[in-house]
Amino acid sequence: ENKVHQEKKERDLLENVYNVDLLILARYMQVLTNGFVRDWQNRILNIHHSFLPAFLGGKPYHRAHDRGVKLIGATAHYTTVDLDEGPIIEQDITRITHRDTVEDLIRKGRTLEKNVLVHAVKAHLEDRVIVYKNKCIVFGE
């Protein structure tokens, strides 16, 4: 009930005070209520590393390094009531090698996340994204 009350205050700020069109949940570590997500359908963007669902939980880059992955990536998607399973707007990857440290993976992953987020936000704001079922059609610039 406290979460619903907090979201009601947030809705008021977003809709009535700031007139927000798009929410970006980068580094937002809270789960939104189903009602909030439904009311903001296809207007909430999230990003995450591409290790989901292989390396769930904390320290995914450490576990990926320990496992010897060869690619890391990032995904930007619309938020749905199914956590991290929304329609994908943008993705990117980069190759890594045995020479890369965990810190290298984290740095490269964060760069990918930023770039993917920029492309996804730009496509959304330019109305180049159509959502069909759980897929996005993204038209070129």
Distance CA 87, CA 134 (A): 5
Beta bridge partners of 24: 45
Owner of token pair 């930007």:
76
- Our answer to whether residue 84 is catalytic in this structure is yes
Per the CB < 8 A criterion, the answer to whether 115 and 90 are in contact is no
> Residue 24's closest CA among 72, 89, 82?
89
Which residues 6+ apart lie within 8 Å of 86 measured at CB?
Answer: 46, 77, 78, 79, 80, 134
Catalytic residue from among 12, 66, 84, 100: 84
Which residues 6+ apart lie within 8 Å of 11 measured at CB?
Answer: 36, 39
Active site residues: 84
